[in-house]
Each structure stands twice: as structure tokens, then as C-alpha cells.
Structure 1
Amino acid sequence: MKAILLLLCFFPLWASAQLRDDFADGNFTANPAWTGDAASFQVATQQLQSNGPAATGTQIALSTPCQASTGTVWEFWANLKLATSSGNLADVWLMATQADLKNTNNTGYFVRLGGTADEVSLFRKDSTRAAVLVIDGVDGTLASTTNNLVRVRVTRTTANRWTLERDLTGGRTFVAEAAQPIDGTYQRSAYFGVSLLYSSANNRAFAFDDFVVSDATPPLLARAIAVDSRQLDVVFNEAMDAATATNPANYRLQSGAVPTAARFFSAANAMAVRLTFGADFATQNVLEARNVADLYGNVAAGPLTAAFAGPPAAPQVGDLIISEIFADETPQVGLPLSEYVEIYNRSTTKVISLSGVKLGKPTSTTAFAVFADTAKLLPGQYAVVCGSTRISQFTQPGVKVYGPTNFPSLSNGGDQLVLRARDGRTLFEVTYSDTWYRDPKKKDGGWSLEMIDANSFCGGAENWTASTDPLGGTPGKANAVRATLADATAPTLLRAVALNATTVRAYFSEKLDSVSAAIAGRYALAAPGPAVVRAAPIGPDFRQVDLTLGTALQPSRPTTLTVQTATDCVGNASGPLQSAALALPEAAVSGDVVINELLFNPRTGGVRFVEVLNRSSKFINLQGWQIGNQKPDGSVDADVLSPGPLVLTPGQLLAFSTSSSNLLAYYPASSDAANLVQLSSFPTFPDESTALLFNSVGIEIDQLAYSKNLHLSLLSSQEGVSLERIRANGLSNGSNFHSAASAVGYATPGRPNSQAQDTPGGNQELTVTPEVFTPDDDGQQDFATLNYQLDQPGYAATVTVYDALGRLTRRLVRNETLPTTGFVQWDGVDDRGRKAAVGYYILLVELFRPSSGEKREYKKTVVLGARF
């Protein structure tokens, strides 16, 4: 008996068939309505038959709505009156997401009748890809060339196990294929239908009948997922009845909470229900569902249960950190040849959402890498983060891997890495260096840097070291070097700088808690100084705080910044008040800052340095200043002294080089680490040139024409010997510089010069100091100085040294115009570069004023001695 019946899911429990069509009504346009290539099909003798164009390669299809997907039985009758082949076959779509079954983007499952193997098989179709064989039927099942009669039954359980059965007589004595695989790739369906491919002679060779799709299985609760603190998405294994699935009374948490609202997640998806609750979820929850029915009236009395954690939380400072860095992948030790960083959820209870979290280098112009909205980390979970094309290299069981676009390139020698929240807040910062490996072999590559104690995540070099794992690192796993390394040290105030009249920047020894550091009441300037009205910690490392003042500072007027307390990012707070002196810098003019010491010929393995001295009463900011030397072609080889604020106080000196540690090693007793500044690059400073000092806008502040001839000729070697300024207020010329004393190791970087002399006092016109000198470069009376103070400008002078017998020993000055005050030095060397003999000497000074013709002559006695 033929019957026509289509029952949808909104009817009572007595309905067991969701789709039934035996074409007894003589059409396929109603009860149910099939759409597609309608002109290419007909109903004849109560069967659906093909009637398409007689053209080889033609594909025709019909489909009808059907949402049955799991816990379902599909059955149909077919007769293919042809010899099946790759160009003559029929696909019966059990589940399809699109009405157009010929669309290559369609997804779902279909039974294929025929094909090259003349079989009945089950396939899965993934979007745009070739169909995947799920159950491979016995070859030759449909071997007739004129009459391939078959009835097919396919069953899918709620556990996603598939069974394919057939009866080649068209009856119901089914024979099952041996394979019964599990495939749960697709859980949703929208259409059922047939798709035919044929050659020109077979356009009317396909017939179908008795389509029945049945679901007599109650629905299951697949999962529950917290969307936020009060919304929950509930997912069933099949399409649900709206009346029961969207009834809030059918749901509750085991804690007793019931939802205030329930609705389908979207109109196109009747498998997912969004529940809204009136209070926040606990960390762990269990949802219960009762008396919910599927689209076909099958009721699950329940309770159906699903456990779920509280919603993924946006990370806060200290939750998400970088715990491992692999910057130098060669030579390979055991890790993949790909850079990576490892991130870690420090929380023991919180699931962290990585949605919108950014990873990158703040100094780079490349956009930050951004994690996908679905990315998350469970409590205590690690994850590898690498380039998007390198994910497969780190994929292994138990290891979570993320490969966001724009993964930053990691510099081998060191770099700064930052994790930022979706709203731009800094979550974590690390500025690593290859010195952190603490192992010269591992520093060369193939080994990762691992954090030692994740609870001391604010630490720097002391909390990182090279991995000890035999593979070279532990990507996605607990670090091999993990150990307790508690941070109990409170931050200290290092210095303070006035950036402008109303802004003071405070520098601290470690990363601060950005919230407490922003409390303006913790900072004060010495009375009657201006009030601090705002405090702004500077990211990404929060070692600096910019303070806004209520009124302006006065230039070069010293004051003191006091910090009541400072708290680092792990909670250590400083105790007593801390303070730092500062003043508003003012512009320097030529001669305010001078070159005070120069080492241009270092020892083997040593580095060059230049020391500058502020001989003014001003506070001077050296930010953007440059030091350099003039090259033979007239150009200048220069480097910046400081890209950031660096204030030189009155009388202060600073020595600049490429390695402060090198200067401390070569001059351990005569250098001061507090006054050494390390630069990344430095001018060449050959043996003869002009050293130049420029301010931030390129104006020359000082210059010194130097050469190796300025050194004491009695030195056995000039290597590692600096030239020191003799008088701070003297001219920047060769006569005001002398070789540093041997007693201090031949240089004084960051310390007062060993050969410095104060300007002599008194009103004498000409004086010689000391009266006895010993030119042995021991730093004590190494040269004699003729100091002069003239009554008026315009004198030209000649200064000559004679021994006690009146013999010419040395011409010091020849017809040089002199300023009104100054000095001339004699180092005890004669005109032939040899040390003069011990004894008495006469310094003959001849002064002449060309404007008036006036002449003066003076004789001064000095003794050249020797130490015994």
C-alpha cells in the first residue's frame, strides 16, 4: 500500500518517521516538496524517475528539507537500469547542509550506488574537497548492465557508529557491510536528496521509491559551554523541539540555580540553546536538562547532564606569562628548527581566554600577533606559540600549540617581548639577553631560555637560564630548570629626571605594580616644591613613572623627589622613604661641557672611551647628544650618547664606551662604575684626529685636536694610556692634556683626572709650580707648569728652557698670542724627545705687544728631579 506522509519535529511522540515519500500521490512537488532540477525528474508508476537531458556528463539533483542527523535510520529503494561506472552513478544524500546538492561546498554524508567498483558505499563530503570513503561496499554488488535493483538501509547511532545494509532483491532481507565505523564529523543536516551523473544513453535509467527517514531516539546533551559569567550555550546531538528546548523550566544547575531565559542560539541552528542565569557561575558546574524533545517528538525525560567550567576569564597581570624563549635554533640539538615562545597560565583555578591577546615586540614596526577568539589555557597549562606555518613541528600528544599570524622574529642576542590584553594593558614583559644562558656553549644556539620560578615572573636575568633538557628545551611542558627562587626584594628608586618644567620621571630598580605606582600621593617634591598631581607608570616594563607637577620647576634649581613606598609586580613593597635629587635641565652653550679624558689607543682586548665634564653651574640633559671624530674627508663619525634622558649635574663627569665591564676590568682601581655609560656603538677615534662633542640639535659644544704626540714621550708604550685634561677651565687644546699617571693604571674613567691641577691663585704675573718636578708619570709632580696672568690682552710670547749652563733645552712656545690668563707646561723632555738631565733649568719668558712695541722678559727657575 502506498502512502504519503511527511512529519516534522513539532508533532507528538507517535510520529516515528521524519520523512516519508512513496510517490503514491503522483508528484514530488508536495508532501514533501522536492526542489532542484525539477524538469529533469518525473513520477511514473508511483516512482521517482530521471528524465534529464540526453547528454553525457549531465548531473541532475533534487532535495527536500530534513534535519535528522543522529540516532537516525535512512531507507530507500532504487533501480539503476544501466551499467554503472565513474560516469553513471547515483548519490543519495542522507545529510546535506545545502539544498543544491551539486554545489562543491556542500558537506554531509551520501550513499553512492555504482561507480567504477559497481558497489554500494557510504561517503563523507567535506567542503571543496574530494569525497571521503566511510564504508567501502563489496565490489560488483551492482553488476547488472540493465537492472540493478537494491533497497538500502543506513543507521547512525547516537554514538556516531554507522551501519550500511542492502537487499539486492529490493526486499527487506538486509545484508550488512562488515565495516561499522565511527564518524561524527557532521552533526547537523538541512536536506535529504538524490544526485545523478550519467551518459547520454542513461538519462531515464534511474528510479527511486520508498524514501523513509526515521528517528525514534531521544536526544542527548552533548556539552555545555559558558559564554560569559552568566550565559551558557547548551548543545544537543540533534535538532530540538522549540517548545521544550527553549523552556527555562526544563533546565537547572545542580547548585539549584535555574535560568531566567532560554532561546535557540540562532534560527538556523536548532541544536544549540543559550541559557541566561541571574547570578555568576561557579568555577565548576553541572547542568541538568529534563523533558526536552527532539525535532521529531522523542522525549528525554532526563536528567541529561553536562559538566562545565566557569567561563574563560580575560587574563590579568600575573595570570599569563612567557615562560620559555627559543630565539636561536641553530645548531640543532633536538628541538625543531623553528623559533618559539612558551606561554603559561599561572592560575590554579582560572581558565584564561586568549581572545584578542597580543604578542609582539614594542620596538618593532611589525604588527603584533593576535590570538584567535577560541584560544584559551586551562589552569596551569602551557602552550607553544610559533609561526603559523610551523605548528606541525611542535604538534604532539598533550602539547597545545598556537600559530598566530605575525609571530615576531626573535633576535639571538636579545629582544623585548610583550603580552598585551585585548584592551592594550601590558600583561607581561621580558627583555632577554644571550647573557642569560650562563653557558657559552648553549649561548651559541640550539637551546632555549627557561624561566626558573614562575612565581617570580617579574625577575630578569636572575630568574632565567639555559634549559637542561637533553632536547634543548621543553616546549609546551614544565620547564626543566624550574625551582623556587623567591623574590623578596623591594624596588628601589634609582634616580629622577625633570623631562620638562612640569614632568618628572622616576626610575626604579625593577618592574612596579602598575596600579599602586599610579597613586600620586606616594610621591612628593621637597617643600616648597610643586605638588605631584598625577602619576603615570610607563609600559611595557613599568620601571619608570612620569609625575605631573601642579606648578613649574625653575631651571637648575635642585630639589628632591621622595617616594613614600614602591611596590613591585609580585607585591614586595619598599619600607622607609626613598629620595633622589633632581633639577630642571637647561640648554648648554659652547664650553659648558667639555671633553675631559680620551683613550684612543686601548690595550689589546680593551675598548676606547671618552669622558665628558660639566664645568658649568647648569644641570644639562645629554639626551640626543653625540660624540665623534672627524674623518680625513671632513665628515664626522659620531654616535649618540643617550637616546633617553641623561642629566649631567654641575661638576659631574661621565665616561662613555662600548663596555663598562671592560673598563672596570682594565682599570679596576681608577674607574667608577656609577659614572660609566655603555653605548651600543662608538666612534673609531684613530691615533690622530679631532674629537667633537655636539648637543641634541647638532651644535658643537667642544672639540679637541689630539694625536699620539700629546703623550709623554718617555712612555714605554702608549697602549691603554689616556689623555687627561689638566685644568677643567682651561682651553680644549693639546697643551691642556697630559698622559694619565702610571700610579692609577694610566686612565681614570669616571673618576677625577690623575693629572688635574687647580687654577693657581694670587696676583703674581708669572709663577712656576711645582718648583721641583719628577717626570716619571707616577701622577705626582710629573710636569712643571708656568702659570701666567697678564695685565692686558694682545701679548705674543716665546717661552724657552735653558739648562744651568745656558744651553738651549726646549722651545715651548714660539711667538704665540696669549690670553690674559693661562699656563704652559714642560714635561721634562728636550727638543730631541729625550728626558733632560736632572738639575736646575731656566724658563725664559719673552713678551711682546705688537700694538705698542712694548717688550718684557722674565726668568723663572725650576728643578728637574728624580725619585730614588
Structure 2
Amino acid sequence: MKQLLLLLFFLPLLASAQLREDFTDGNFTTNPAWAGDAPSFQVTAQQLQSNGPAVTGTGLQLSTPCQASTGTVWEFWANLKLATSSGNLADVWLMASQTDLKNSNNSGYFVRLGGTDDEVSLFRKDSTRAAVLVIDGLNGTLASITNNLVRVRVTRTTANRWTLERDLTGGRTFVTEAAQPIDATYQRSAAMGVSLVYSAANNRNFYFDDFAVTDATAPLLLRAVPLDSRQVNVAFNETVAPASATTLANYRLQSGAGPTAAQVLSNNPAVVRLTFATDFATGNAVEVRNMADLFGNVAAGPLTAAFAGPPVAPQVGDLVITEIFADETPQVSLPLSEYIEIYNRSATKVISLNGVRLGKGGTTTVAMLPDTARLLPGQYAIVCGSTRVLQFAGYGKVYGPTNFPSLSNGSDQLVLRARDGRTLFEVTYSDSWYRDARKKEGGWSLEMIDTNNYCAGAENWTVSTDPIGGTPARANSVRAVNPDAKAPALLRAVALNATTVRVYFSEKLDSTAAATLSRYALTPATAITRAAPVAPDFRQVDLTLATPLTASRPLTLAVQTATDCAGNASGPLQSATFALPEAAVSGDVVINELLFNPRVGAVRFVEIINRSNKFISLQGWQFLRGRVNGNATATQLTSGPLVLGPGQLLAFTPNVASVQAQYPTSHDPANLIEVGALPTFADVDTVRLLDGRDVKLDQLPYSKSLHLSLLATQEGVSLERIRASGPSTGSNFHSAAGTVGYATPGRPNSQAQDELGGNQELTVTPEIFTPDDDGQQDFATLNFHLDQAGYAASVTVYDALGRLTRRLVRNETLPTNGFVQWDGVDDRGRKAAVGYYILLVELFRPSGGEKREYKKTVVLGARF
């Protein structure tokens, strides 16, 4: 029975329907016009009836144009005079992207009548994919085998909340399905209509009537997106009427400026492009009035949308790397692909990534970000390899430039540069930054802690705590306030050549402030003509001198103030002495301390000392481990400029942070140098020191037997040179003192002794010693100063009763100056008893037959 006139009487809302079809005119070709499988439909008794071929599996469709989308009510009447099933059902499309509803690329929303569960349900279709259930109707709703009468009403609010209602009598006493989900997937529509599939006996058993689509809501302004300095796109929630959309008087900025042009986009009629005569300010808001949709609903306004200024090229501090995923295996949850995360720190700027390049230190190959790429204020994006973009598509914004650099698991330097080549951001990461042995093995990202402290290194990075292993394209899991309140320190100065001096600082500098000449002064007075901060990390400054330097003639650099990247300014800094270096000869630089057996989880180090009066360049020098099975392993000390001054010492290790943690009170950070690796020294081995021309300068044969035998463990205990001028033999090395933590990397040795003084032939110091490895009188030293060369000696220790305790030297040839040490241990490796001891020294000259004998007393004591 026809009910439309009565419905209009009871429902004033339908009086403004944007589409209405009751088939009272006896056709479906006009007012409105339906198209599709038209020969397979007919109007019977003012209702649309199917009339397709009596062939099982036949699918039919019929549609009519309709652009209603949000803030809309759809209503229709239907009767399926058949038993519904998976092969006998009808889909009523509310929104469709194609007029051909059977097109596999069609997308939108439809109500399904029937199906396997004999229900009324709402579905979403995503192009070629299977339909997605949005509202699952009650099973068995359409249970009749001959008469499934139903009236359906679907409502979509402007907030994209969906409601599905039905009346199984065909009237208007609707029952609402419980679920009312939010789904905003599709905002545009081209058509609505019906599509059906049936078996042969049911080709004429589908009836439809009373289609009504009502949009009674005015358009909403969703957002404003700037395109450049004078154009902005304003987007609405639905298609807007061209007449109101192109009326210039309907728009203005809050500053009062109006557009010079307004154009509805042909590919998206819900977006209007506005053009203004002057550039936008940093912060803007557009106001829209009297905007109408296609159905006559008018938003009087003002509708307001704020937007930042136009996309601009990033400046230093705007664009930073906040996450590094260098080691993807073993997998935790993230894709098995390396990535970095970039972040727009600005609260107001839209950053254009046009021309921004990602590269690694020391390489010329870079990954160029797309010309159209941009980041909104506070927005993150993933950057990965071009073939890996789909793996990260579900995480957020992602860019996949070609030449994405391969990230080293151990350590690497990453640099972001602007289109003009300026350094925007630099980070040199290391796997020590994980601070977690398990996570260091892979599958977890490194995250920046405080994005306001973006200049910092290890102290502002740590491993992710997110359960999936990282936080790509979203705020970091470890984020916290972690400011830099420390001013930079001057580490050293190195002469690169006769007219260039490189100055090293403890952290990244403000490059503009670092270029100020008045901050630097040399003594003796030498004019400085230029100060150039060194990219990309700006921890160094190159000074150009007006007059050339003389080799090994020292100068002192004073820095009045230094300002770091975070703005912390120092007062006058400690001065640094440097000189133009010259070549070393054998014995100028020697091995001063060796840690060959570190504690579990710790690292080795080798320390060297300059015994000469020269300034010596270490560039290209190597540590060489003694040959094993015909092979030798080498470590380069530095590929860059590094100069060792007279009396200066430096310790080299593959992990400075680990050494600092192992020896927190006995290291000097200014004298610790990180190298790629060190040879794996054995318990009995030889360490050689070679210069850049592979000339051997020193070698130390050692064994674990050189350690004090009274130690509870030798792990983590270094061997220290006793006398700097002494030979590189085991007799001139001793275990580092326990009171300093068993090593002194980068600091004077705990067991160092002054050189022999005076004219006495034989002396013993100290007269009382306590071999407890506390760094105080740990061993007795017999110093000798002989009147001529050619002596051989035997040195034997006896106790007070004349019993043999230890043979220290047996018939060994002596230099004219030297020493012999006794550590308080007897010939059986046990600590000798407390008491008096005699050192019997027998000297003889084989060439002349001369023989001398001396006795020296020493006391072995103990601390109480």
C-alpha cells in the first residue's frame, strides 16, 4: 500500500529531501533518472520490481546520482518475497563512488537485506577488498520464505556516527540496532541504488519503494591547509554549492584580509582554494560565512579554521631525528626494516621537506626527500627505504626516498642537510646508548629523550620502552624533560698544518657564536684571521693564523667564552697548548698502560705516553698484536688529526663510556680516545706501536705473570709502566693499585716512580714497603747508577735469618742507570712474612774481572 503522502505529513524532515522516489509516475527513468540494468527492472503497482533473467547467480544493479554524505538520513521500503540466503540477497547502496554498483573498484556504504544470517546489516566496501561489517544486525530478522517486508532508516551524523533502524511491518515504528559506531572512511558519494543477486526462481521477487535521502545539516568547515605563502585550501565535510563557494565576500582572514580568488577543486568539490594578495602571517585563521551545500542548507557562520603559515624551509632546530632503528633482528614486533623518525619541533611552522637530504658522515650519497613532502607543527614521519614504505604505512606518515642509507648496528653518523647544504641536524649514535644488554641485540629502536635538548648525544638517547620495540611516527616512549645545563669545555687544540689550528670542544657549539674571532687568543701573540666551525657536528673550530707555525714550538690558546647549541655560555675556559707536530723516532712514544684482560662486559684499553720534547702527530698510527699463526691484527689509533704533546698521555679504547663506568674515579675524559676496535689480546702476547709509515716505535711483550700474584683476580687490572724512561719490559710494569680501582686510563700511573736522582750508586726506596696494592709503597725498588757500562748483576733477597727468599736477577747485563723491583713475593709465589730482608747485590765486569758486592736492608711491613 502506498504510504508516502502520509509519511510526508508526519515527517516534515522529508519535505526537504534531496532525493525522493516513490514511483507514482509509473517509471524510473525520470525524476530522478535511474540507470544500470534497466531492462531487468519494472514498476509494478507504483513499486520497483526486479524482472531479470531466470538464471541462478544473476546480479543486477540500478543507481541514481546522489552526493549526500554526512549529516544525512537514508530511508527506503523493501519486500523480498523469497527465502534469503548467500545467493538471494539485496544491497541498498547509500553512498557509492561509482554509478556502476557492480564495478569491483566501487567503494562506499550499503545496507544488506538477507544473506546467510537473514538479517539487516550495514557494510562498508573498500574498493576491491571484501566488504567490512559496520553494524551487525540481528540474525533471523528476515526469516520468511515468501514475505520479508521491512522499512529501513540509516542516519549518519556530521560526527560520522551511524545508526541503523528497521520496521518489519513496513511502517515507521523503528527498532534500532544496538551498535552505533563511528566510521569516517568515506566523505564523498556519486550515487545511491540497489544491487541484487538471486537464484532462477526468484528473478521477480524483489520489491522497493519510498526512497528518500535527506540532508538537513549545513556544511562544516573541517580544516585549512596552506599551499604556499598566499594560497590555502579550505576543506568542508561535504560538497559545497559552487555559487556560495566562489563568492569572495564569504571568506576573510581574522586579520581582515579577503581573498582575490576562490576556486572549487574539480577533483574534490568539498575543497575550495583561496588566493590572497599578501603573504600569510605565522599564525592565521580563516572565517567562512553563508556557505551552502548542494541541498540548500546554509551555514551562516562564521566557521573558523586556524592554520600555520605556509610551508617553509627548515632552520637549525626545526627538523630533528628522534628515533633510530638500526638493528631490526631479532624481530620484536616492528617490521624487519631499518628506519629513522623525523620530527617538526616547531609549534607554528609547516615545514617543507623539499630538498632536505639524509646522509651519513664521510659519504656523498644522500637520500633526497620528495618535493611535496611536508610536516605540520609537532608532526612525526618515518623515513625508510623506498621498497619498505608499505611495511610502515599503518604507523603514520612515511617517506621512502631512494638511497636511504644502510644504518650500522654498532655506530654511525646521520646528518640532515637543507637544500642549500646547511647542516640542520647531526647525531653520531652508538650501540652503547641502549644501556640494555638484551635490547642491544636487536629489534629495539633508540629514542631521543628530550626533543628540546636535540644537540645532546648519549646523555639524551636511550632504548625504547614501547612493547613493540619502538614508536615510529608518534611521540617517543622515553620522552621526559632532560635539559642541558652544562657549558662546553675546551678539550684540546691541534695544528693541522702550519697555518691552521683545530680546536676541540666537549659538545656541539652555536656555530654563529663560535665564528667570533674575539673569543680566541694565542700566546705568544699570533694573529688569528678566521674562525670556522666545522660541520656537521660543530664540536670543532678551525682557526686560520696570519703567520706559519714552527715545528714543536708551543703556543697556548685561550678561549674567552664558548656557547653550546643549547645556549649555555662558559666563562674563560682552561687553555690548551699545541704546536706544529714533527715525526717521531723509536722510543719517543711508548706504551704506558695496558688492560688486556677486562672484566666481563667491559672493554680493553691501551695507553701511550710521549717521552720526547716533540709534538707528535698520531694520525695513521696503529696498535699491532703479536702474530698468531702467522697473522697479526691491527687497530688504527685515528684517521683524523691527533697530536701528542711532550709528556702527554692518551688512552685508546673501543668504548669510552664503558671505561668511564668501570673506572669512575681514576680516568681523565680529556685523554680518552674511542677507536673502532682493539685486538683481542691474549694472556701472553706482544703489543706493538707503529707510526703512519708502519715503523715500529715501541713494543711490550707481556704475560699475566707480570701481575701481582697476591691479587684475588686479575680481571679489570691494568699493567702500568713504573718508570717512563725505563725499558718496555715486564720488569718495568706492575699491577695498577687497588685504591684507584686497578687502572688509571688517561691519568698518570698509580705505580709511577720518579727517575733516579743524585750520585748514589745503589739506593732502595722505600725502606719500608707494604705490598697490599693500595698504590702506597706497594713494592721496593733498588735503583742503581753505575760508574761505567759493562756490568752484569745478580740480586737475591734473604730474610733476617739468612734464608733465601727470592732471586730477582741472575747474571743479567745492566745499563748504567736502572732499577730492580721486589713486590714482596717469594720464589713460590707466596707473600713473604713481615720483617727485615737483605738485598744482596753482586756486580761483576766480565771484561776486567772486577767484582763488587753490596747489601741493602728493606722492611716488608703491613698496615693494621
1:16-50: CA deviations, max 9, x gaps?
6457694959674x776655446655678987654
The secondary structure found in structure 1 opposite 2:244 is: helix
Cα distance, 1:722 vs structure 2: 5.0
Q: Deviations over 1:65-95 (max 9, x none)?
A: 3212245455556565544333122222121
What does residue 504 of structure 2 align with? 507
Distance in 2 of aligned mates of 1:810 and 1:160: 95
Partner of 1:193, secondary structure, is: strand
Q: Give 1:626's aligned amino acid.
A: Q
CA-CA distance at 1:782 after TM superposition: 1.4
Distance 1:744 1:156 in 2: 77
Question: Which among 295, 298, 301 is matched to residue 300 of structure 1?
Answer: 298
**Does the 8 Å contact 1:592/1:616 carry over to 2?**
yes
TM-fit CA distance, 1:245: 0.3
Matches within 5 A, 1:772-783: 772-774=762-764, 782-783=782-783
The range that moved more, 548-557 or 589-598, is 548-557
Distance in 2, Cα, partners of 1:59 & 1:225: 43
Whether the aligned pair in 2 keeps the contact of 1:229 and 1:310 (CA below 8 Å) is: no
The answer (yes or no) to whether the contact 2:595–2:718 under 8 Å persists in 1 is: yes
**Cα distance change on mapping 1:629 and 1:23 into 2, 3 Å:** same
Classify the secondary structure of the residue corresponding to 2:488. coil
The residue that corresponds to 2:832 in the other structure is: none
Confirm or deny that 1:573 pairs with 2:569. Answer: yes
Structure 1 residues 132 and 189: CA distance shift in structure 2, 3 A: same
* C-alpha distance 458-787 of structure 1, shift in aligned 2 (>3 A): farther
Q: After superposition, where does 1:739-758 map in structure 2 within 5 Å?
A: 750-751=747-748, 754=752, 757=755
**Aligned-pair identity (%):** 50
- Within a 5 Å distance, the mapping from 1:73-88 to structure 2 comes to 74=74, 80=80, 82-88=82-88
Give yes or no for contact 1:418–1:430 (8 Å, CA) kept in 2.
yes
Q: Are the structure 2 counterparts of residues 227 and 838 from structure 1 closer, same or farther at C-alpha, using a change threshold of 3 Å?
A: closer
Matched, 1:535 2:536: no
Does the 8 A contact of 1:801 with 1:843 survive in 2?
no
Aligned to 2:267: 268
Query: In 2, Cα distance between the equivalents of 1:802 and 1:305?
Result: 101
- Cα distance between partner residues in 2 of 1:259 and 1:577: 57
**TM-score w.r.t. structure 2 length?**
0.67
Measure the CA separation in 1 of the matches of 2:161 and 2:706: 94
How far off is 1:676 after superposition? 6.0
Aligned partner of 2:490 among 488, 493, 496? 493
Structure 1 residues 432 and 480, CA gap change in structure 2 (3 angstroms): same
Q: How does 1:359-508 map to 2 (within 5 A)?
A: 425-427=423-425, 487=485, 489-499=486-496, 504-508=501-505
Cα deviation for residue 192 of structure 1 reads 2.1
Residues 458 and 699 (structure 1), Cα distance of their counterparts in 2 relative to 1, 3 Å cut: same
Q: Tell me which residue corresponds to 1:620.
A: 616
Q: Secondary structure in 2 aligned to 1:545?
A: strand
Amino acid at match of 2:617: N
Contact 2:85 2:117 in 1 (8 A): yes
Q: Give the partner amino acid of 2:503.
A: A
Q: Which letter maps to 2:133?
A: V
Give deviations 1:408-464, integer Å, cap 9, x for gaps.
99999x988979588685458596998999x999999xx999999887676678889
Three-state SS of the structure 1 residue aligned to 2:494 is strand
What corresponds to 1:633 in structure 2? 629
Q: Matches of 1:259 and 1:564 in 2, distance apart?
A: 54
SS of structure 2 residue aligned to 1:67: coil
| CA 1:621–1:56: 2 relative to 1, 3 Å | farther
Sort the Cα spacing of 1:167 and 1:40 in 2 relative to 1 into closer, same or farther, 3 A.
Answer: same
Query: 1: distance between equivalents of 2:287 and 2:598?
Result: 80
Shift of residue 704, structure 1, vs aligned partner: 3.7
Q: 1:613 to 1:214 in 2, by over 3 A?
A: closer
| C-alpha contact (below 8 Å) 2:38/2:62 kept by paired residues | yes
- Residue 250 of structure 2 is matched in structure 1 by 250
d(CA) in 2 for partners of 1:606, 1:585: 34
Unaligned runs of 5+ residues in structure 1 are: 2-13, 329-338, 389-399, 761-768, 790-796, 804-808, 817-821, 847-856
Partner of 2:856: 865
Q: Structure 2: how far apart are the matches of 1:16 and 1:740?
A: 95
Equivalent residue, structure 2, for 1:290: 289
Q: Which residue number in structure 2 is paired with residue 770 of structure 1?
A: 760
Note closer, same or farther for the CA distance 1:212–1:623 as it changes in structure 2 (3 Å cut).
same
Q: Residues of 1 paired with 2:811 and 2:620: CA distance?
A: 40
TM-score, length-normalised on structure 1? 0.67
Tell me how far 1:692 sits from its aligned partner.
1.4
CA distance in 2, matches of 1:687, 1:681: 18
Structure 2 CA distance for aligned equivalents of residues 622 and 41 of structure 1? 92
Q: Match for residue 130 of structure 2?
A: 129
| Alpha-carbon contact 1:564-1:578 (below 8 Å) kept | no
Tell me by how many angstroms 1:495 deviates.
1.0
The answer to whether the 8 Å contact 1:290/1:302 transfers is yes
2:534 is the counterpart of 1:544:
no
Q: How many angstroms apart in 1 are the aligned matches of 2:118 and 2:736?
A: 102
Matched residues in 2 for 1:602 and 1:85: separation? Answer: 75
Contact conserved, 1:467 with 1:481, CA < 8 A, in 2? no
Deviations 1:806-846 (A, max 9, x none): xxx987468x9xxxxx64768599xx989996789663251
Q: Tell me which amino acid in the other structure corresponds to 2:60.
A: I
The aligned length equals: 773
Greater CA drift, 615-624 or 232-241: 615-624
Q: Partner of 2:331 in structure 1? A: none
Q: Is the 8 A contact 1:740 1:748 kept in 2?
A: no
1:660–1:678 CA contact under 8 A, matched in 2: no
- AA aligned to 2:502 is R
**TM superposition shift of 1:96:** 0.4
| Structure 1 residues 35 and 707: CA distance shift in structure 2, 3 A | same
Q: Assess if the C-alpha contact under 8 Å between 2:123 and 2:131 holds in 1.
A: no
- Alignment-derived partner of residue 198 in structure 2: 198
In terms of mean alpha carbon deviation, does 255-264 or 364-373 score higher?
Answer: 364-373
Checking the alignment, whether the CA contact within 8 Å between 1:362 and 1:418 is kept in structure 2 is yes
Distance 1:464 1:718 in 2: 35
Unaligned runs of 5+ in 2: 3-14, 328-337, 386-393, 770-776, 797-807, 829-835, 860-864
CA distance in 1, matches of 2:427, 2:840: 69
Bigger Rg, structure 1 or 2:
1
Deviation at 1:197, TM superposition (A): 0.6
Report Cα offsets for 1:536-582 as digits up to 9, x if no partner: 34445x43335577897665554455545421123232344775333
Q: 1:692 aligns with which of 679, 688, 695?
A: 688
Check 1:549–1:61 CA distance in 2 against 1; reply closer, same or farther (3 A cut).
farther
Query: Cα gap change, 1:134/1:758 in structure 2, threshold over 3 Å: closer, same or farther?
Result: same
Deviation of the 1:137 alpha carbon: 7.3
1:63·1:99 contact (CA, 8 Å) conserved in 2?
Answer: yes
In structure 1, how many angstroms separate the alpha carbons of the residues matched to 2:780 and 2:762? 11
Q: What is the CA-CA distance between 1:509 and the residue it aligns to?
A: 2.5
Instruction: Tell me by how many angstroms 1:241 deviates.
Output: 1.6
> Are 1:361 and 1:416, in contact at CA under 8 Å, matched by a contact in 2?
no
Q: CA–CA distance in 1 between the matches of 2:676 and 2:455? A: 25
Correspondence 1:703 to 2:702: no
> Which AA in structure 1 matches 2:259?
P
Alpha-carbon contact 1:442-1:466 (below 8 Å) kept: yes
Report the AA paired with residue 276 of structure 1.
T
Contact 2:69 2:188 in 1 (8 A): yes
Structure 2 contact 222–236 (Cα < 8 Å) conserved: yes
Q: 1:827 to 1:357 in 2, by over 3 A?
A: same
> In the aligned structure 1, how far is the partner of 2:712 from the partner of 2:143?
102
Greater Cα shift, 97-106 or 157-166: 157-166
